[in-house]
Amino acid sequence: MTTSRTRFTAPQRLLHWLMAICVLSMLFIGVGMVSTVASKYLTLVQIHKSLGIGILLLALIRLALRICYGAPALPADISEPMKLGAYLSQYAFYALMIGMPLLGWGMMSAAAYPIVIFGVLHLPPILPVSAKLHTLLWRAHFYLAFVFFALILLHVAAILFHKLVRRDGVFETMAPEIRRAKPEPK
Amino acid sequence: MAQSPPPPRGFPLGSLAIIAAVVAVAATAFAYTAGWLSPHRLTPKKLVASLAPAEGPALGHRRNHTKGICFSGTFDANGNGSALSKAQVFIRGQYPVIGRFNLASPNLNAVDAMVRVRGLGIQITQSDHQEWRSAMIDAPIFPVSTPQGFYELQMASGSKDPDAMKKFIGAHQEFLSFLGWAKSAPWTGSYAEQRYNSLDSFVFTDQSGAKHSIRWSLVPAAQTVPISPDELTKRGPDFLEKEITERVAAAPQRWSLVVTVANPGDPTADPNKAWPADRQTVEVGTLTVQQIEAEQDGPCRDINFDPTVLPNGIGTSDDPFPAVRSAAYSRSFNSRTAEESHYPRTTTGGKQ
Ligand code: HEM
Ligand code: HEM
Ligand code: HEM
């Protein structure tokens, strides 16, 4: 899965940052919408469903790119358990980026709600109507959302640690390309 | 890429502080958005909890309009609605319906003669699978003008303070017009003799894109026979469900769906304010109730008659209630479907 490149390819980086914004928005919209009774509730739910399905599509593309292009190797001096942690968290992210939208879609199917995204597009149900299934998926969507957020906090803390403390170039693997003229700053 | 870490520079306190600060700010923003830091925010959770009777909610059941019975039938559109809305459901034709007659009380064992307001939930399915769901009541106006007022009404009626209702009415004069109806309107002995009103306003969009502010009502074909609450009491606590079952078994029951179009300036954001009686009305079709089924294994059981589930051509208006109701009904639905063990089905798997 690793490549000799020192950075992720440009499409991978673009998708990473675009999706980081989308996923964070989704988490905030999610917890915000279920705790409000204001009229914006309906708008938030609409955005939540549409953006969520958007994330599903982007995540599948991103997964394909990852399989094609792999990832730059982590610095050699990182301990094995840390490396394992880094890889596991990446698998977990992919699982969540694909799993959360499917859970959302599935739970709405099981609850017999019509699923309309972007105001016009009707998605077909992906599961039969069932109170039991709905409950299971709804709970999973709920708990995994918090797991997702916690993992992002951990991810950000770890990346900042690489950037500010270890200064080992891990951050730069995902950083936007800024001029080749000044190689290896600092 | 850096070959090796920079020379050690002592303990990186500053950097660690930045990291901790970033994580703390993000976590706090998340907690704030989720409402955990604002205990006074009116949330769907609080609103639904406020409905619960003193002994707690009826687990496994709807958190309001708890006692009810399922029906199925059809909606026959006559085509007249197409002048107002491009929704397929108004194109002449027949569309399947699932619905539920109910009492407006959070009490599962409510006695029919003790509950002033009766309701009807309905789902009409278009052939393109878009749905029109609605939950309506027989009162001509809603008790309060705002969702906040509805919450305050629940708090006041559940309060131990003997003056709570008086204080509530002091702050919500609009409740008096509802009380006027509640005290004077005749009672009937059948769900089939009731008129059911959307009360909330919605917006129809026609083929040309023009928008029309409307409300709708189901007007019964059955003749209304007034009876006294005392007489209803004598007939038994669950008379209405027995009556409608027998009545529909004997003959399908019909309502005509009537759309009322607002004039400019009519109050569209306040379901407590009726529109003047001379407003244009359009009869758009007929609801026929063909079969009654007990809720426990019936087709309405696991449906959320969320009033914001609407086909293209019908949308919400500036009325704040539908959004609140959507949030609250979803919460109620999530709770009750997760409590199936408290309300087990008698046939495995249930219908649908
Ligand atoms: C909000 C959701 C986020 C998700 C779901 C996410 C997910 C991921 C994933 C799956 C990878 C592995 C590379 C890949 O296959 O694309 C990665 C790498 C990376 N992320 Fe994020 N990320 C998020 C937010 C952030 C943020 C806010 C930062 C900035 C501090 C960041 C910085 C990085 C960096 C520098 C890498 C490359 C190093 C590595 O592979 O671990 N990410 N991210
Ligand atoms: C990356 C994708 C997604 C993320 C991160 C996400 C996150 C969340 C979060 C944080 C909540 C609030 C949970 C709570 O506090 O109760 C939520 C609720 C919800 N999500 Fe998602 N979601 C995603 C995708 C979707 C999709 C694609 C759909 C539907 C098509 C969906 C439908 C819902 C619904 C209906 C709720 C409300 C649940 C309830 O009634 O309590 N989600 N989501
Ligand atoms: C903020 C105001 C309101 C709140 C909080 C509220 C709350 C609720 C809740 C929690 C349910 C149970 C939903 C379920 O589990 O499926 C319900 C059902 C119902 N409500 Fe409301 N409601 C409100 C306003 C209204 C209005 C304005 C009407 C009528 C015009 C109405 C008519 C009904 C009916 C008929 C049902 C029963 C639907 C069914 O059979 O499933 N409600 N309400």
Is residue A183 predicted with pLDDT exceeding 80? Answer: no
Is position B60 within any domain?
A: yes
**Predicted local distance difference test score (pLDDT) of residue B351:** 44
d(CA A19, CA A96): 12
* B15 occurs within a structural domain: no
**pLDDT tens track for B156-214:** 999 999 999 999 999 999 999 999 999 999 999 999 999 999 999 999 999 999 999 99
C-alpha A110/C-alpha B234 separation (Å) is 42
> What backbone phi and psi angles, to 5 degrees, belong to B316?
-80, 160
Q: Which of A92, A98, A74, A87 is nearest to A151 (CA)?
A: A92
For residue A186, tell me if it sits in a domain.
no
Structure tokens at A33: 């919408």
Residue B8 lies in a domain: no
- A182 band by pLDDT with thresholds 50, 70 and 90: very low
Tell me, yes or no, whether B24 lies in a domain: no
Nearest to A39 among B33, B42, B323 (CB): B323
Q: Is residue B13 part of a domain?
A: no
- Reported as a single tens digit per residue, the pLDDT across B221-238 is 999 999 999 999 999 999
Ligand nearest to the CA of B35: 2
Give the gyration radius of chain A's Cα atoms: 19
Query: H helices within chain B, ranges in order?
Result: 13-33, 44-51, 147-157, 164-171, 174-184, 229-235, 239-250, 321-338
Residues of chain A found within 8 Å of residue B147, distances taken between Cβ atoms? 37
Q: Tell me which ligand sits closest to the C-alpha of residue A147.
A: 2
Bridge partners, residue B220, by sequence:
B255
User: A94 C-alpha vs ligand 1 centroid, how far in Å?
Assistant: 11
Token pair of A118 as six digits: 């972007």
d(CA A141, CA A96): 10
- pLDDT for position B173: 97
**Which chain B positions have a beta carbon within 8 Å of A77's beta carbon?**
4-5
Place of tokens 């407590």: B272
- Nearest residue (by CA) to ligand 2, atom 32, is A104
CB B100 within 8 A of CB B64: no
pLDDT over 70 percentage in chain A: 94
Domain that holds residue A88: 2-74+82-173
Q: What is the rounded distance in angstroms from the CA atom of residue A115 to the CA atom of residue B92?
A: 25
Q: Is B288 exposed, middle or buried (0-12, 13-18, 19+ CB in 10 A)?
A: middle
The H or E element that residue B218 is part of is: strand B211-220
- Considering its fold, how many domains does chain A have in total? 1
Nearest chain B residue to A116 by CA: give it: B130
pLDDT above 90: percentage of residues in chain B: 94
Tell me if A143 is assigned to some domain. Answer: yes
- Dmax of chain A from CA atoms? 60
* Rounded distance between C-alpha atoms, residue B116 and residue B294, angstroms: 22
Taking CB atoms and an 8 Å limit, are A131 and B42 in contact across chains? no
**CA-based nearest residue to B83, from B201, B206, B204, B259:** B206
Asked, for residue A181, whether it belongs to a domain, the answer is no
Please tell me the predicted confidence (pLDDT) of residue A1. 56
Q: How many domains is chain B built from?
A: 1
pLDDT reading at B348 higher than 80 = no
Which letter does DSSP use for residue B184 in this model?
A: H
- Per residue in A35-93, pLDDT tens? 999 989 999 999 999 999 999 999 999 999 999 999 999 999 899 999 999 999 999 99
B269 part of a folded domain:
yes
Q: What is the mean pLDDT of chain B?
A: 95
Domain that holds residue B175: 54-342
Contact partners, residue A90, CB within 8 Å, separation at least 6: A71
Instruction: Provide the percentage of residues in chain B whose pLDDT is more than 70.
Output: 96
First to last CA, chain B: 60
Q: Residue B282: which CATH number?
A: 2.40.180.10
Q: What pLDDT score was predicted for residue B11? A: 83
pLDDT at B106 over 80: yes
Q: Is the separation of the CB atoms in B70 and B300 below 8 Å? A: yes
Cβ neighbours of residue B245 closer than 8 Å, sequence gap 6 or more: B69, B292
What is the pLDDT confidence band of residue B350, given thresholds at 50, 70 and 90?
very low
Tell me if ipTM is over 0.90.
yes
Q: What single DSSP character describes residue B83?
A: G
User: B227 φ, ψ to 5°?
Assistant: -135, 160
The answer to whether position A178 is within a domain reads no
How confident is the prediction for chain A on average, in pLDDT? 93
Span from the CA of B49 to the centroid of ligand 3 (angstroms): 13
Residues in B closer than 8 angstroms to A25, CB to CB, are none
C-alpha pair distances (Å), A100 with each of A14, A21, A36, A117, A169: 21, 16, 21, 16, 31
Q: Is the pLDDT score of B9 beyond 90? A: no
Distance A17 CA to ligand 1 centre (A): 8
pTM of structure: 0.94
